[in-house]
Structure 1
Amino acid sequence: MEGKAFCNSTVKEVNEMLNEGVLFKRKCINAVKHTNEVYQRRLNQLKMEYQRLKSESSSSKVSSDARTRKKKDDAMKLRTLENDLEKTQFKCMEAKNIMVNYLKFKNHLHEESLTYKGQLDCLEAEILKQREEMNRLQIMNNDQQLSKEATKDELQKREELLYKDSKERACIIASYRKKVKECKAQAEKVDIRDQITLPEKLSGEAQHIITRMEEEDLKKISTFEEAFRRISETTGVTDTQEILECFNSQEETHQHLLKLKEENEKVLLQLKEEKELLSQQFEEMKYFRQAKHPSDQQALQESEQQLQTQQQKCDAAKEQLDWLLKTLHTAQAGVEHLANKLQHISLSEDTVPEVDPDSDHFVLELMAQCEKKLLSLHKELQGKDVAGIMKELEKNKLYIRSEEKLSAYITRAKPPVDQAHDPLHDKNETDEGKAKVITREALKLQSQLIIDSHSKRKTKMKMMKKKGKL
């Protein structure tokens, strides 16, 4: 039937019919769910009531054994709680002791941290001193090495010269031996001749002694003559005394160089020992600083952080101080400018205190004086025509400007001055002239201010007129 109805209807009608059927079925399902939930709640309530009644019935039937068992369980629980309480008390005591020790250790570290920076600075200064000393010793060592090398070169040169001299001496000695042999042969010939001519009284022993002495003298003389000839040829000196002095001076210089060599070797050994000691001390200090407790390093880091924060605060305070000083200087300049403007107004001597211009209270005193002058000026201007005064000031300003524009070569005739006046009259005239000069400068400043204010007013009026036209 439904299929036939769907066949005779359109798609929209079929869709609407299906939607209505779905909605009806949903309503039925929701009603069934609601009834199910109501029955479920009722069932849960009945179950709870049943459990309550069951527990009440079971509690009424508790036996004496269950009560005793419950008492034992309570006693066991009480004992365990007492044991736990004792354990916690013991742990609390240990924790208090540990906390006391940690507080002592913390105070000790705090005290050390207060002096740690100074000790560190001292150690760094000592290290710098030792480094400077080591550098100085290294420089001395290098100088000694250079002097040692120079002495070695000098010694090598001297040894070469000695070797050459020894060779030359060996050659000279060989030549001398040849000459001695020749002289011996000649002496033997002479002896034979002398033996023939000598009287027969002389014994053979006396003749032998004489011949031997003559041979030795001849040898010495010949060797000395040959050495002197060679020395004079090489040096160009013919005097024997000069040659002896030259050899003596060379021997003295050689001994002096040997002494210097020994002294330099001793100094070099001492410097090497000092260098080793300093290097050992430096290594010990370095490892001692590295092997300190990490808590000290942590305390040092914390102190460095605190130092950085304090440094930042100090920088901020410095910036604020600079700003305050700038504002103070600007305020001081403004107050001084105002005081210069009000310089023509005089105060009584009692109200003008003497203050050092370099002191900090000078600005306050200037402000107080300016305030008093302004009050006195305000009192003077009360009840007067301010507009008329302003006009007079403008006229004076124009007059002053016209005077300034005049050329410098225009001369004006001065009235004759009678020198026969009284001195009191002269003093009064000079005082009046000074007062006129001061008031003229003040009038210049005041007229400038008035002109500026008038120019500002004119510009404002022009702007207002333009706006009204628009």
Structure 2
Amino acid sequence: MRSRPDFQSMQGWTAHDQIDQLRSKLSLKDRDRQAYYEASRRAIAKNENLVLALHAGNKEQRVALAQSQNRDEEVIHQVFLERKTTRLAMLRNTAKKAIDLMDQKGCEEAKRYNSLQHQRSMCEQRLRDLQTLLDSMELAGSKGPKDIEQEQVIRQLENRIDKMRIRINTAKNIRHTYEEILHYLKEESLVFPEKLDAMELAIRAQNKELAELRAIQQDAQLSKDVAKSDLQKQEQAHFEAKRMREQTLNEKKKQVEKQKEFAEKAEKRAQRATFHADDHAHDHPVSRLSISKSAEQIQTYEEAFRLIKEATVVFDINDIVWQFQRQDGIPQ
């Protein structure tokens, strides 16, 4: 459906402008129609070329198919040249299909041939059985009852002989095995005396070694008992010596404590006497007799302290106490 010109939008335009506008639209539509026409012509030409190419390809394929069929016909004609019926039946088929059909027929013929072979073998076996039966019947008819009994006895004897032969062969094999075992035992018996002597010597050596080990064990046990008793005696002696040392040490400690107390008291008295003597010398006159007595007492105390130091071989009271504490293991 064609669109009408939009005259409302052209209001206010001059007639010349409106004509130019319409001409431009018409020229645009003409160009569009021309382009569409050219595109359609190109598509038509392309499709025509495609149709021509397809026709040409179809023609080539028909020619190739005809040639192939002609070649298949030639092959079938050459193969089935001497078999007219089969050749006429295969002319409308391709070579591949003809091969498949002939394979199928070949399999069917092979199955039929195998079936006929089996039937033939069965018939031949049946014929042999019948012939054997006929021969036995003829033989039985020609011989008397005594002959038949003799043949049975002969067959029984032959069976017994065969069984006896089997037993004899088995007995021979067993005898051969036992002979080999006997030969091996005889060879071993020749070596037994030497082995027995060697074992007796080994037993004697083991018994001798066992006796020596028992003697060593007894000596070791005696040594152990003696060492144990000596150890107990030494422990007892050590305990007694330790107890005596502790007792002596305690006595010495007591003596030292007494001497220390005596020395401290003597030192304190000497200090007090010296202090009082100085006070009396400043405050009151003291007689020479009292001073001389005090000096004699101080000298006596000093002599006693000197004897204590010589007895303890230590020249300091604190050192004496420290020595006794260290011997007793008392922490400082």
Aligning the two structures, in what range does the TM-score lie when normalised by the shorter sequence? 0.3 to 0.5
Bigger Rg over Cα: 2
TM-score, L = length of structure 2: 0.37
TM-score, L = length of structure 1: 0.27
Select the structure with the greater relative contact order (CA < 8 A; seq sep ≥ 6). 1
